[in-house]
Amino acid sequence: MGWFGKLMFGSMGMFIGGPLGAIAGAALGHHLVDKRQDYATGQPRLVYAEQTQAAYFVSMFSILGKLAKIDGVVTGDEIAVVEGFISNLNMGDREKQFAKQIFNQAKDSRYSIDDFAVQFYQISRAQPAVLVSFMDLLFQIAAADHRFHPAEESALKRMKDIFHISDQQFTSMKGAHFKDVDRFYKVLNCAPESSDEEIRANYKKLVKDFHPDTIVSKGLPEEFTEFATKRFREIRQAYEEIRKERNF
């Protein structure tokens, strides 16, 4: 008898409490199940192992939901990553539907991603490999729209600390999913928070200032012309990388 079937008869809040219990209870309220078809009599109880499995499940999709909306909007690419992850899980259709309902309940809830992360750590702290794997999944969600939003990066850094993941592991995962875009922004005298219009304006000015024809027309030394040509290439590369990242 799986934890999900038993869960239909009980309040998730009394198993794990806190924000995760509230989210699970709300999701169950929207999960239409004929309980009489599952069990004829009695109210099954979750054993400890099943409680842990259920809590892990709720934690996972609550955090995914909150992260997907932390930059203000849930994109189609982010939804596709989550749905792909759910479809690859070895579970039935009802469980998959329940996962989507938790995701939707959590993303619009009053709880913060930190609230969910603290409970998730309490559940998984004896399994550091689980925490690292889950952090990598979160990077996949953050990278789905090809842009590492400052709010996403800030949240993941806080979760790194909550999960007790090393700076080296975090940097390695970040590098696997995102190029060093900060360097490209610096080349254009911009920051990740800069608007598309500001980036375009800075790019046009820098291209004009460092274009080889402009340098030659000013009669500058050959050594400076070589430097300017290299700088010109860096400016164009930086702009192309940011343009691809932001999809403009």
Number of domains observed in the structure of the chain? 2
Point out the domain boundary residue: 126, 145, 178.
178
Which of 22-36, 99-113, 187-201, 231-245 has the least mean pLDDT? 22-36
Domain of 195 in residue numbering reads as 183-246
Point out the domain boundary residue: 178, 198, 222.
178
| The model's pTM | 0.64
Q: Is 126 in the same domain as 189?
A: no
What is the distance between the terminal CA atoms of the chain, rounded to a whole angstrom?
Answer: 51
Q: Is 7 in the same domain as 36?
A: yes
* Cα 8 to Cα 94: distance, rounded to the nearest angstrom: 11
Q: Is 42 in the same domain as 132?
A: yes
In the predicted model, is pLDDT for residue 36 greater than 90? no
CATH number of residue 231's parent domain: 1.10.287.110
Structure confidence at residue 1 (pLDDT): 37
In the predicted model, is pLDDT for residue 79 greater than 60? yes
Q: Is 131 in the same domain as 215?
A: no
Question: Which DSSP state fits 116?
Answer: H
CATH number of residue 19's parent domain: 1.10.3680
Reduce the DSSP state of residue 203 to 3 states and report it.
Answer: helix
Assigned token pair, 57: 């499940």
Point out the domain boundary residue: 178, 196, 216.
178
* Cα 58 to Cα 65: distance, rounded to the nearest angstrom: 11
Structure confidence at residue 143 (pLDDT): 83
Q: Is 77 in the same domain as 174?
A: yes
Is the separation of the CB atoms in 103 and 61 below 8 Å? yes
Q: Is 62 in the same domain as 164?
A: yes
Percent of the chain with pLDDT over 90: 21
Q: Is 167 in the same domain as 197?
A: no
Contacts of 93 (CB under 8 A, 6+ apart): none
Structure confidence at residue 37 (pLDDT): 41
Q: Is 201 in the same domain as 232?
A: yes
For the stretch 45-78, pLDDT in tens is: 556 666 667 777 888 889 989 988 887 878 887 7
